Amino acid sequence: MTVDSQPPSFGWISHVVFWGLVAISTSAPVMYLLFAKLLDPGRLAKLPNWLRWGLVIPTAFAVGTVAEMVAEMAFRTIEVIENHHLTFKPGVDYLIWQWWEAFVFVLAGVQMAPRHRFRTFLVVGGIKIAVAIVNSFNDVQFVASGGSWNHLSPIVHSPLWWNSVVHGLCILTILAFGFLLARYPPRRFADERANRSERPLASTGAPSAPTS
């Protein structure tokens, strides 16, 4: 019998959250190595600024896709070990796709930018927040037209209520990252701003004594 709905339950949610975090935690070291090797600040500093600006969006897409693929491969390994169909699989897939991939997308785009990282965040973070809002709006429209929050999405097969939770988590995570980026900018960029603010004072020097 084909199941076309999934009401909220503690068991389903706990399985999704636990195994989703296991898959993401397994992929995190791989992504750390990727950032350390390919997005190392010293390595990126050798690239011309115009090239880094041009690579912001492609890098965000590429690294985000790799993060999703690695986490999915980790979860597929769990499926093989379990050796049976996991009913909570679509929930984990959606968590990886719409939360983990989105966060890495934003992180990679900001890391690639040579400067103006918060403004870069507004662009790459705005893209993912807009996607989450549009997806949530589509779910609300479906429910408003007579559908149920327990209905499974025809594309990802996860329940709409869970999709909306993931969308909200995605938005909150990206906004929190943006707040931290604005409040505690990377030290190198903070030092650059401080140097620029002091430069006019250094060039002006002390005021000369009036001539008689």
| The overall pTM is greater than 0.85 | no
Q: Is the pLDDT of residue 51 over 80?
A: yes
The residues, any chain, with a CB within 8 Å of residue 128's CB and separated by 6 or more, are 102, 105, 106, 170, 174
Reported as a pLDDT band with limits 50, 70 and 90, residue 185 is: confident
What DSSP string runs through 89-138? HHHHHHHIIIIIHHHHHHHHHHHH-SS-HHHHHHHHHHHHHHHHHHHHHH
For the four alpha carbons of 141, 147, 153 and 158, in that order, the dihedral sign comes to positive
184 — pLDDT class (breaks 50, 70, 90): confident
pLDDT in tens, 89-135: 889 999 999 999 999 999 999 999 998 999 999 999 999 999 999 99
pLDDT of 42 reads 85
Amino acid at 122: L
pLDDT tens for each residue of 138-183: 999 999 998 899 999 888 889 999 999 999 999 999 999 999 999 8
Q: What is the C-alpha to C-alpha distance for residues 178 and 122, in angstroms, rounded to an integer?
A: 8
Neighbouring CB atoms inside 10 A of 25's CB total 11
Query: H-type helices in the chain, by residue range?
Result: 10-38, 41-44, 49-54, 56-82, 89-95, 101-112, 117-144, 160-183, 187-204
> Rounded to an integer, what distance in angstroms lies between the CA atom of residue 128 and that of residue 123?
9
Domain ranges (residues) in the chain: 10-183
Q: Other C-beta atoms within 10 Å of 181: how many?
A: 20
Length of the chain: 212
Compute the average pLDDT of residues 50-72. 94
Residue 83 confidence (pLDDT) = 52
